[in-house]
């Protein structure tokens, strides 16, 4: 890999590529279920089944697409062909996800949702995995990778949260005939069009903005007449690395916690703390501020320290801070519902806990990138696409399990099916709090088993420079 200087504009173009995934994720997790169930009339079971099938297909396809982009040979390099190919299909598939044929219902609507949801996830994977894998190609320094990953991760968060706010403020609003804004069909259709355009524009900016670097980026190495290593062999290589195994398990535990937290957040806010819609709408604004705070703080926090130590500190912070508001409520140390101090306290809690979570995910990505040269030193070739795809597989699979666990918590505490009350959410919190704390404790433990140090990374870079 030739040396080049990564300017601010190129860093921005690279980072903005994460917006597309953030917008997609926000739509799937926040709006898709209620739209197809409450607005289009598809049963809750069938809607959930379709989303689960799409998620399963997506998780399985990630590693293979990562492997393909690692070994692709073309005049456009390894990553950019996949990124360019994804752009138009994403525009069409994401638009039609929110604009299905008007005459579909029942099984026809179910089949349509499965096909279009799989298509959206597949095409966003064609862009996201190669784009994320470029982190290890665009930056080589131990600390610079954390800074670049922080930029990319923050842009992904901002893309999803800002699009959700736009949807609530401009599209999902009551009309003369629709009293409840989240049941506004036309609003979802307009949201789908805008979201598709935003995804395509940011993908195009990222691909074109990094295009000039193609000649400087690594290409698959010739294997002395031998075929490129197989997908199965490379997958074994990835999981043979003890540091990656530790990171994979740690990321799995943290993302399961994330799935539970995000799913139950609105339930706790509404039924335990008694907040109204206007008050809850301030949560995304705090999440935006938290992402910007993490963008500034994470590289400075990690500079000069071992990433293993930094991520264990962040995991410990998540363990101690994530549930503090619930614990204080159970102990009777929070202001009562309706008290003017309650909302500011909860907003500060959202700000700090989300900041820790964004920083945690950022350092996970930076640590994954460092494993690329560790493997290249041993094998002689780079498989950053497969590394990032494996982590992506973990995140998608276990965050879904976290959502599933949330449903179990709610159904167990409310077994009679009556409307959810404050008492029900107190019962949920008694299981939720130790469960989330356990997940973050296991994250803390397995992050400690990551072996790659700053010195080892520098030695890997030095060795590879000699070899090239």
> Is residue 226 a part of any domain in this protein?
no
Give yes or no: residues 354 and 248 share one domain.
yes
Give yes or no: residues 372 and 321 share one domain.
yes
Whole-number Å distance between alpha carbons of 193 and 197? 6
pLDDT greater at residue 279 or residue 134: 134
Residue 409 neighbours by CB distance under 10 Å: 21
Range in 77-91, 127-141, 144-158, 380-394 the model is least confident about: 380-394
Q: Which of 155, 183, 216 is the last residue of a domain?
A: 216
Nearest by Cα to 265 from 402, 162, 364: 402
Please identify which residue in the block is written with the tokens 């949702």. 113
- Summarize the confidence of residues 41-54 as an average pLDDT: 80
Rounded alpha-carbon distances, angstroms, from residue 99 to 110, 178, 187, 349, 383: 14, 18, 11, 37, 38
pTM listed for this prediction: 0.84
- C-alpha 293 chain-centroid distance: 18
- Do residues 350 and 343 lie in contact, with contact meaning Cβ atoms separated by under 8 Å? no
Give yes or no: residues 150 and 259 share one domain.
no
Contacts of 403 by beta carbon, 8 Å cutoff, 6+ apart: 259, 260, 263
> Is residue 227 a part of any domain in this protein?
no
Give yes or no: residues 197 and 104 share one domain.
yes
User: What tokens were used for 428?
Assistant: 């949920």
HSE-CB at 68 with a 13 A cutoff on CA atoms is 14
Give yes or no: residues 362 and 455 share one domain.
yes
> Is residue 169 a part of any domain in this protein?
yes
User: For residue 64, what is the enclosing H or E element?
Assistant: helix 44-71
Please identify which residue in the block is written with the tokens 């980026």. 217
Give yes or no: residues 66 and 165 share one domain.
yes
Domains held by the chain: number: 2
pLDDT of residue 400: 64
pLDDT of residue 468: 39
8-state DSSP, 307: H
Across 45-74, b (16+ Cβ under 10 Å) vs e yields ebbbebbebbbebbbebbbbbbbbbbbbee
Q: What percent of the chain has pLDDT over 90?
A: 55
Domain range spanning residue 79?
1-216
Whole-number Å distance between alpha carbons of 132 and 148? 11
Indicate if the alpha-carbon torsion angle 23, 25, 27, 29 is positive or negative.
negative
Give yes or no: residues 374 and 409 share one domain.
yes
Give yes or no: residues 276 and 421 share one domain.
yes
> Is residue 137 a part of any domain in this protein?
yes
Please determine, for residue 3, whether its predicted confidence score (pLDDT) is greater than 70: no
> Is residue 207 a part of any domain in this protein?
yes
Give yes or no: residues 183 and 281 share one domain.
no
pLDDT of residue 223: 53
Please determine, for residue 169, whether its predicted confidence score (pLDDT) is greater than 70: yes
Whole-number Å distance between alpha carbons of 132 and 143? 17
Please determine, for residue 399, whether its predicted confidence score (pLDDT) is greater than 80: no
User: What tokens were used for 424?
Assistant: 């029900």
- C-alpha 430 chain-centroid distance: 27
- Do residues 79 and 131 lie in contact, with contact meaning Cβ atoms separated by under 8 Å? yes
pLDDT of residue 310: 96
51: CATH: 1.20.1250.20
Contacts of 326 by beta carbon, 8 Å cutoff, 6+ apart: 268, 272, 429, 432, 433
In terms of Cβ atoms closer than 10 Å to its own Cβ (0-12, 13-18, 19+), residue 289 is middle
> Is residue 414 a part of any domain in this protein?
yes
- Do residues 73 and 223 lie in contact, with contact meaning Cβ atoms separated by under 8 Å? no
Give yes or no: residues 321 and 446 share one domain.
yes
Give yes or no: residues 236 and 212 share one domain.
no
pLDDT of residue 118: 93
Please tell me which of 39-43, 271-275, 323-327 the model is most confident about, judged by mean pLDDT.
323-327
> Is residue 33 a part of any domain in this protein?
yes
- Do residues 123 and 90 lie in contact, with contact meaning Cβ atoms separated by under 8 Å? yes
Nearest by Cα to 97 from 179, 178, 145, 35: 35
User: What tokens were used for 149?
Assistant: 């990953």
pLDDT tens digits for range 132-168: 999 989 988 888 899 999 999 999 989 998 998 898 8
Give yes or no: residues 286 and 200 share one domain.
no
Going by pLDDT thresholds of 50, 70 and 90, the confidence category of residue 461 is confident
């Amino acid at each position: 890999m030739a040396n080049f200087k990564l300017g601010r504009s190129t860093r921005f173009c690279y980072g903005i590529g994460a917006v597309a995934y953030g917008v997609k994720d926000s739509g799937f997790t926040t709006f898709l279920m209620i739209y197809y169930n409450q607005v289009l009339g598809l049963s809750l079971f069938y809607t959930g089944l379709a989303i689960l099938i799409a998620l399963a297909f997506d998780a399985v396809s990630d590693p293979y697409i990562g492997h393909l982009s690692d070994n692709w040979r073309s005049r456009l390099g390894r990553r950019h062909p996949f990124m360019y190919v994804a752009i138009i299909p994403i525009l069409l598939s994401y638009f039609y996800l929110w604009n299905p044929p008007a005459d579909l219902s029942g099984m026809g609507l179910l089949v349509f949702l499965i096909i279009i949801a799989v298509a959206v996830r597949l095409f966003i994977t064609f862009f996201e995995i190669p784009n994320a894998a470029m982190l290890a190609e665009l930056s080589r320094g131990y600390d610079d990778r954390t800074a670049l990953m922080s930029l990319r991760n923050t842009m992904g968060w901002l893309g999803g949260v800002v699009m959700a706010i736009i949807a609530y403020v401009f599209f999902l609003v009551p009309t003369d005939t629709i009293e409840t804004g989240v049941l506004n069909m036309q609003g979802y259709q307009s949201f789908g069009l805008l979201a598709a355009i935003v995804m395509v524009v940011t993908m195009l900016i990222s691909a074109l903005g990094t295009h000039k670097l193609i000649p400087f980026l690594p290409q698959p190495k010739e294997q002395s007449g031998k075929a490129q290593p197989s997908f199965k062999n490379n997958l074994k290589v990835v999981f043979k690395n003890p540091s990656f195994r530790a990171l994979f398990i740690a990321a799995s535990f943290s993302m399961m916690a994330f799935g539970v937290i995000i799913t139950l957040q609105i339930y706790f806010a509404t039924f335990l703390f008694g907040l109204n819609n206007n008050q809850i709408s301030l949560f995304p604004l705090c999440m935006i501020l938290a992402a910007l705070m993490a963008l500034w703080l994470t590289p400075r926090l990690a500079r000069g320290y071992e990433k293993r130590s930094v991520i264990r500190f962040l995991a410990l912070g998540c363990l101690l801070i994530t549930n503090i508001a619930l614990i204080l409520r159970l102990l009777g140390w929070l202001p009562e519902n309706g008290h003017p101090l309650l909302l500011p306290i909860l907003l500060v809690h959202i700000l700090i806990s989300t900041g820790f979570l964004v920083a945690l995910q950022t350092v996970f990505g930076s640590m994954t990138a460092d494993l690329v040269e560790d493997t290249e030193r041993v094998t002689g070739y780079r498989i950053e696409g497969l590394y990032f795809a494996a982590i992506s597989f973990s995140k998608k699979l276990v965050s879904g399990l976290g959502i599933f666990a949330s449903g179990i918590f709610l159904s167990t505490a409310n077994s009679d099916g009556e409307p959810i009350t404050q008492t029900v959410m107190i019962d949920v919190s008694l299981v939720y709090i130790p469960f989330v704390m356990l997940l973050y404790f296991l994250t803390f433990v397995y992050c400690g088993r990551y072996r790659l140090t700053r010195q080892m990374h520098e030695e890997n870079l030095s060795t590879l420079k000699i070899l090239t």
